[in-house]
Amino acid sequence: MTTELRRLRNYIDGEFRDAADGRTTEVVNPVTGEAYASAPLSAEADVDAAMAAAKAAFPAWRDLIPGERQKALLKIADAFEERAEELIAVESENTGKPLGLTRTEEIPPMVDQIRFFAGAARLLEGRSAGEYMEGLTSIVRREPIGVCAQVAPWNYPMMMAVWKFAPALAAGNTVVLKPSDTTPASTVLMAEIIGGVLAELGHPKGVFNVVCGDRDTGRLMVEHPVPAMASITGSVRAGMQVAESASKDLKRVHLELGGKAPVVVFEDTDLAKAVEDISTAGFFNAGQDCTAATRVLVHESIHDEFVTALAKAAADTKTGAPDDDDVLYGPLNNANQLAQVAGFIDRLPAHAKVEAGGERVGDKGYFYAPTVVSGLKQDDEIIQKEVFGPVITVQSFSSEEQAIEYANGVEYALASSVWTKNHARAMRLSKALDFGCVWINTHIPLVAEMPHGGFKKSGYGKDLSAYGFEDYTRVKHVMTSLEG
């Protein structure tokens, strides 16, 4: 007996549609490893339709006064709040995330971020008008870019969708958004909610569109001639491919890619508090977070004590089903990701030591134990490459200079943290660390008002904050003669 799969559909020009050629792909619940839904495997005709709808809707949406776009976003935020339990249930099935943590750690920030960008819609800042040449007045206009092609990842399907569509819509752009092929369900539900609000307010049908599909679908979106901007959150490889494709017609590109966050722990820190916070920040969401606290650098004088305490914290950390209130995280997202994480552990060099975990949990789904690895060297694969799983590595350092060298000695540059009671040292490290974010005595909190984004192979462009909002605008100079 076979169970009928739930049918997900694209959302294009205000209506739900199957792929034009009828192709679908199965969507798997990572808790069970079994398919529970089917989603469109969109191709050129579907992308064309979505882009045409977004292009047609753009002039009217662009020309709205900012207060009207703010009103729409505020109503979307309210609707997300009202239907929070539906979003939580679908996202949990999408990803296997704990229901309780999704309720407390994702819905409130998402709603807050939408409301932040609703406010930002009415605060387009720039230089004041002025005379910089005799007899002429200059004005700077900030304008929307146009249609935005956006690709969201599978680690935070709902929240990363918000990070993309909220600033884009607030600035007056229209959107074609593609969720990951492994986690489309919550984005389709979001489309229903957003589409309902926009329709209620009488806005054009094509302002917000969702196209499901795989990497090839994303490629078609980025290469399409209509979008003026491509935005992706994903792997370094995917970011490079997007940048290359977008360069062919000089699209603007916004990239938030991988991370390998150094967590620099000095001997004067509160060790027990540091271990507690770092273990949570490393294992949360199964370590599937580009800012996760997974690469710890500890002063040699407290190294052994720290490793022992961290291994105990890992042993006390629980992974399991979404409805278990005692678990910190659920499964890895898919079978390929489970194989990738296990592969890093299988390939560890002889000098490495697995202090905790290091194995799959259970015989179904994609669960992996909280893992701590010590005895590592700077050039080891697991230090240099992003694991994206519940694995925390520990290295020791002997001096502040060596800590900085090790911290910066990777190709990623998204986030970092410093743990010390010495204020001057914290300030020195915050300057020296080559990362887009430096936390001091904490790791992983984000707020809507502050920018998030990296350097080097972690990409470019900012999410959140006024900087993230401005990334979805273009600048125009207008000069007028004072002589009439």
Q: List active site positions.
A: 256, 290
Nearest Cα residue to 38 out of 13, 11, 10: 10
Give the integer Cα–Cα distance in Å for 354 and 415. Answer: 25
| Torsion sign over Cα 187, 189, 191, 193 | negative
The two structure tokens encoding residue 162 = 């918000």
135 CB-contact burial (10 Å; exposed 0-12 / middle 13-18 / buried 19+): exposed
**Residue linked to tokens 């002039």:** 59
How many Cβ atoms from other residues are within 10 Å of residue 456's Cβ? 17
282 CB-contact burial (10 Å; exposed 0-12 / middle 13-18 / buried 19+): buried
**Residue linked to tokens 């969708």:** 161
Give the integer Cα–Cα distance in Å for 236 and 244. Answer: 12
**Residue linked to tokens 């004590």:** 305
How many Cβ atoms from other residues are within 10 Å of residue 222's Cβ? 25
**Residue linked to tokens 């799983």:** 389
